[in-house]
Chains A and B, each alone.
Chain A
Amino acid sequence: MTDTPDHRPPEMQARPSRLRRAWESDFIYSFTRSPVAMVSAFVVVVLVLGAVFAPLIAPYDPFNPASLNLMNGFTPPGTANQFTGDVFVMGSDDQGRDVFSTILYGMRISLFVGFAAVLLAMTIGVTLGLIAAYVGGWVETIIMRIADVQLTFPAILVAMLIFGIAQGITPPEYRDQVAIWVLILAIGLSDWVQFARVVRGATLVEKNREYVQAARLVGRSGNAIMLRHILPNVLNPVLVIATISLALAIIAEATLSFLGVGAPPTKPSLGTLIRIGQEFMFSGEWWILIFPSATLLALALSINLLGDWLRDALNPKLRA
Chain B
Amino acid sequence: MTDPVLSVQGLTVEIPGRRGILRPVDDVSFDIAAGEILGVVGESGAGKSMTGNAVIGLLDPPARISAGQVMLKGEPIHTTKGDAIRRIRGKRMGMIFQDPLTSLNPLLTIGDQLTETILQHLDVSEPEARRRAMTALDDVGIPAVEDRIDSYPHQFSGGMRQRVVIALALCAEPEVVIADEPTTALDVSVQAQVLALLKRLCREKGLAVMLITHDMGVIAETADRVAVMYAGRMAELGPVRDVVTVAHHPYTAGLMASTPDASRGEARLRQIPGSMPRLGNLPAGCPFHPRCDRVGEKCRHDPRPDLSVDGGRAACWFPLTEKAET
- The answer to whether any beta carbons of A and B sit under 8 Å apart in the complex is no
